[in-house]
Structure 1
C-alpha cells in the first residue's frame, strides 16, 4: 500500500501524514479524513489529537515516524523555527523518514530561504517538497475554500491537485520558495490595506462623519476594500501576521 510520486493519488491508497492541528490545521486535516484519505497525525500535545482520532486518524510518536508511514506529509505549524524543527531536525525531522519520491508539503507561512533549503535537502535524498502557504483563515479551512500558493516543481504540484482540491484552490507560482514569496507580498498588501482603512476611520471620526455612511458610500467603488467591514465592525479577531509587514 502507498502511492509516492508519480503514482496517481487515491484516497484508498495514498497515505497522508499531518503535522500541526491548531485551529486551521485541525480543520484541514478533518476535511481530508472526510474525503476518505488515510491520515496519520503528529501532535506535541497528544490529547489535542482526540477529535481527529475519533474520525479515524492514527497518531505517530514523532515527525520521523509519521514520515515513515506516509506518501505525502503536510505541515501547518506556527512559525519558521517550528517548520525547521519538524522537517529538518537531525534526530526527529520528518525529512529523514521519507521514502524516495515521497513529498513534504509545508503550508505554514514561513521564509522563502527556508523553503529552498528544505527543497534542496529533500532532492538530495530523492524526495520532493512544496511550499504552499494559504490564505482564508479558519473559515476557509473549515469550508475548503483556502487560497493555496504553491512553489516547487510544477509536476509535483499538479500531482498533488486531488488533495489540494479538498482544501481549496491552488495556484502554482514558481520554483521552491515562490509560494512563501507570494504570501509575504500578500501580507504586505493586507497590512497596507488595514492601515489605510484605520486612517480613514480616524479622518471620518475627526470630521464627525458617521461610519455607516462612509462604509455604505464606498459600496461598489474603488474606495472600499476588504478590510472595511472588519475595521468598521470592530472585528478584532486575529488575522494576518503583523511580523511579516514590520
Structure 2
C-alpha cells in the first residue's frame, strides 16, 4: 500500500499545485482554495489564473517550479498530448517533484499513458493517480463530481480529504483503470445525450410541449442524470460548455480506437459509441466543437432539416 507521507492531508501541512484552468479546472481549484489549502497554479496563458490569484493562489512560471512548491499536483488539461508534455516533458512535473509527491491527473486521457506516468513517477520516488471526473461544470462548482481513481490503493485512500472537497471518489483498480472507467462513462453519457436529443426532436415534431415531456418521463425508465444535468439547458438552447463537444470525440475515440487497433482480442465491438463519435464529430465539423456536449441536438436537428 502506498504511503506518500507519514502526515495526513490537512490545509496546514499539504501544499497543492494545479495545472489546467479551464471551466472544470478553475472551479475545482477554487474549491480547494475555499477549503483553506495553499495553492500554486500554472497556465500557459497566465491571465487565466487571475481569478484564482485574487482568491489567494500563487503563480508558478513552469510545471517544474510548480512541482518544487507542491506535495500534491492536480492536472486538468485538454488532451493526452498535453498530459505527456506537462508531466513528462523536459520542464515537466517529474523534473521538479520532491520525493513522495503525488500527481493526480483528472484529465480524460489514455489508459496506457496513465500507466506510463505511474511507472515514471515511481522511478522518481513519487506517485501518480489517474482520477478523471464526471459531472460537468455544475458538479465541479458544487463539489459533486464522480471521481474514478486508478493507481495505488493506499495513495488513493490518503488523498481522500482532497477528493471529498471535489466530489465522491471510487477506487477502480491499478494505474490506467481510472481512465478506462472514464471512457466507459463517456460511452454511457454519449448514448444518453443522443437519446435525449432524438427524443426532444421527435417530441417537438409531434407537437408536444418539450418541457412537459421532460416532466412526464424523468421519473420513469427514460430518466437519467444526463436529463437532469442537460435537459433544461437543451430546451433553453444553453450550449455553454461544462466540457467541450470536441472532447467527447477524443474520449469516445479512445474507446473505439482500441477496438480498431485490434490490440486485444477480448475487447467488444462498440457500434453505439462509434455512432456517437461520428455525430459529435459532426458538431466539430459544423464549427461547434467548443459548445457543450448537450449541443448534440443541433446535429440531429440538421439531419432533420432544421
What is the distance in 1 between the residues matched to 2:54 and 2:209? Answer: 50
* Pair 233,33 (structure 1): closer, same or farther in 2 beyond 3 Å: same
Mapping of 1:8-23 within 5 angstroms? 8-23=8-23
Equivalence map 1:127-206=2 (5 Å): 127-206=126-205
Query: How far apart, CA to CA, are the structure 1 residues paired with 2:171 and 2:237?
Result: 35
- In 2, the alpha carbon distance for the partners of 1:96 and 1:180 equals 24
Structure 1 unaligned regions, length at least 5 = none
The aligned counterpart of 2:238 is: 235
In the alignment, the residues of structure 2 paired with residue 192 and residue 183 of structure 1 have an alpha-carbon distance, to the nearest angstrom, of 14
Quick one: structure 1 residues 143 and 102, their matched pair in 2 at CA, closer, same or farther if it must change by over 3 Å? same
What is the rounded CA distance, in whole Å, between the counterparts of 1:52 and 1:210 in structure 2? 42
Q: Displaced runs of 4+ in structure 1, greater than 4 A?
A: none
* Structure 2 counterpart of 1:24: 24
Do the aligned partners of 1:11 and 1:37 also contact (CA within 8 Å) in 2?
yes
TM-score by length of 1: 0.91
For residues 110-131 of structure 1, give each alpha carbon's deviation from its aligned partner in whole angstroms, at most 9, with x where no partner exists: 1111101100111111110000
Q: C-alpha root-mean-square deviation of aligned residues, in Å?
A: 1.9
Mapped pair 1:98 → 2:97: yes
What do the CA deviations read for 1:166-214 (whole angstroms, capped 9, x no partner)? 1111111111011111111111111111112222234334433443443
* Mapped partners of 1:82, 1:6: distance in 2: 32
Q: Kindly indicate which of the two structures has a greater share of residues assigned to helix.
A: 2
TM-score (norm 2): 0.74
TM-superposed CA distance for 1:150, in Å, is 0.6
Question: CA 1:13 to 1:212, structure 2 compared with 1: closer, same or farther past 3 Å?
Answer: closer
For residues 210-229 of structure 1, the aligned pairs below 5 Å read 210-228=209-227, 229=231
CA distance in 2, matches of 1:99, 1:83: 19
Deviates more, 1:138-147 or 1:67-76: 138-147
